[in-house]
Amino acid sequence: MVFPLVRPTATPWLEPDRYWPALDAATAELDPPFGVISLPALAHNAHTMLDRAQGKPIRVASKSVRVRAVLDAVLALPGYRGVLAYTLAEALWLTAVDDIVVAYPTADRASIAALASDPEQAARITLMVDSVDQLDFIDSVVAPGARADIRVCLELDASWNSRLLGHVGTWRSPVYTAADARALAARIVERPGFRLVGMMAYEGQVAGQVDRPEGRPSYGAAIRWMQRRSIAEIAERRASAVAAVREVVDLEFVNGGGTGSLESTGMEDAVTEVAAGSGLFGPHLFDHYTRFRPAPAAAFALPVVRKPTPERATVLGGGWIASGPAADDRLPKPVWPQGLALEPREGAGEVQTPVSGASAAGLRVGDRVWWRHTKAGELSEHLNEFALVDGDRVIEQLPTYRGEGKLFA
């Protein structure tokens, strides 16, 4: 089903004592553990992301969703265009999407062979490259003369090499300067069997780095200082690199940014489209940005199964830890009833998670605790489906990739 994402007029998620009980009541017939997506909250997030992108088309980052029905609904909104997939196998499976860029280089021989043998797939899927070695690898799977041309996108590294802080950002592409980009573009263009059609640069130190971390005001000020300078630096360097590559080949698109940098990336003239996905679900990581705060559209409920002490409750499972540096901000967050906290010496466990705090004493076996994940699409790896909630009822069950029997790693 493709459900409409109509911008809502009400914002109940701003009142937790209204929002979470309403989700709880709408799903009263479901046995936890289960996940939910609030349709109004999802629609709110989709529309506000378009507002923040300032007219630039948004390519949906599928790894931050991993639910085909949600991808279809978002792509039906004017302003969203194409998918940024995270593996080639996933891109081959998403046959309903006619414009997919694979965000990371691939070494999946079977999928490369499938792509190379199917002109229709090769026409709609673009692979990411940042070195000649990756071109050589593709050629080793299927020789240029025996395949359809492979569309490729050149990735520019968007991290910031600060004199004071050193390398800031993600370790991705070795292509850093405009000269690097132009040289690789020339090598790609001269190679038979490849078509260079795009460029990409992901400034993770802006898009994926909160600038108002909870309880750390001084650190937040330092992050905002870093981001202001990094935004200025990448805007200048990206413009130079795009101009240099356009001397070699006419690009179809230049992709940049992420949920956390829609405003700054969208302002760059050199960028033709932005990428985003996490902001659709609004995980609790995004509570700590100064520029925006999405609605908590996706959440999950776990059952209370024991009472180790009168002032504590223990839920089944809960160890749904987010990727990234191991720290407290990677743990799931209990959000309803309010006033719950994880036990510092136990945290979130694979088979059980104890909680304490003001509300724990009132919890009984069979009650529910509502949680939010730190990151967006990773929640889908723990669930076979999400209950789509609109108002006081569940209107649909939406299978995740996992629920459809798919694991793209």
Q: What is the pLDDT of residues 72-95, one digit of tens each?
A: 999 999 999 999 999 999 999 999
Domain shared by 58 and 127, yes or no: yes
Does the structure show a pLDDT above 70 at 119?
yes
CA 43/CA 49 separation, integer angstroms: 10
Does the structure show a pLDDT above 70 at 372?
yes
In a domain, 18, yes or no: yes
Average pLDDT over residues 364-372: 97
Q: How confident is the model at residue 204 (pLDDT cuts 50, 70, 90)?
A: confident
Does the structure show a pLDDT above 80 at 409?
no
Domain shared by 50 and 17, yes or no: no
| 291, two tokens | 């520029």
pLDDT tens-digit profile of 226-264?
889 989 999 999 999 999 999 999 999 999 999 999 999
pLDDT tens-digit profile of 260-277?
999 999 999 999 999 999
Does the structure show a pLDDT above 90 at 152?
yes
Domain shared by 44 and 158, yes or no: yes
CATH number at residue 115: 3.20.20.10
Does the structure show a pLDDT above 90 at 208?
no
In a domain, 286, yes or no: no
Domain shared by 384 and 361, yes or no: yes
Share of the chain above pLDDT 70, in %: 100
In a domain, 3, yes or no: no
Domain shared by 118 and 54, yes or no: yes
> What is the Cβ-side half-sphere exposure of residue 10, based on CA atoms within 13 angstroms?
10
Domain shared by 267 and 372, yes or no: no
| 391, two tokens | 């108002």
Which strand (E) or helix (H) includes residue 60? strand 58-61
Domain shared by 257 and 321, yes or no: no
Domain shared by 159 and 193, yes or no: yes
Domain shared by 246 and 328, yes or no: no
CA 276/CA 291 separation, integer angstroms: 15
Q: What is the overall mean pLDDT for the chain?
A: 95
Confidence at residue 227, expressed as pLDDT on a 0 to 100 scale: 86
Tell me the residue range of the domain where 355 lies: 12-38+293-404
CATH number at residue 302: 2.40.37.20
Which strand (E) or helix (H) includes residue 126? strand 125-129
Boundary (domain end) residue, out of 249, 277, 305 = 277
Domain shared by 269 and 384, yes or no: no
Does the structure show a pLDDT above 90 at 210?
no
- Please state the domain count of the chain: 2
**Matching residue, tokens 């002490």:** 309
Confidence at residue 219, expressed as pLDDT on a 0 to 100 scale: 83
In a domain, 200, yes or no: yes
Domain shared by 240 and 145, yes or no: yes
Boundary (domain end) residue, out of 209, 244, 277 = 277
Strands (DSSP E) found in 204-307:
253-256, 273-276, 298-306
Confidence at residue 1, expressed as pLDDT on a 0 to 100 scale: 64
Cα-Cα-Cα-Cα torsion 319, 403, 47, 233, nearest 10 degrees, comes to 60
Boundary (domain end) residue, out of 277, 304, 325 = 277
In a domain, 320, yes or no: yes
In a domain, 285, yes or no: no
Domain shared by 244 and 354, yes or no: no
Q: How confident is the model at residue 120 (pLDDT cuts 50, 70, 90)?
A: very high
Average pLDDT over residues 18-38: 97
Average pLDDT over residues 131-153: 96
CA 294/CA 300 separation, integer angstroms: 17
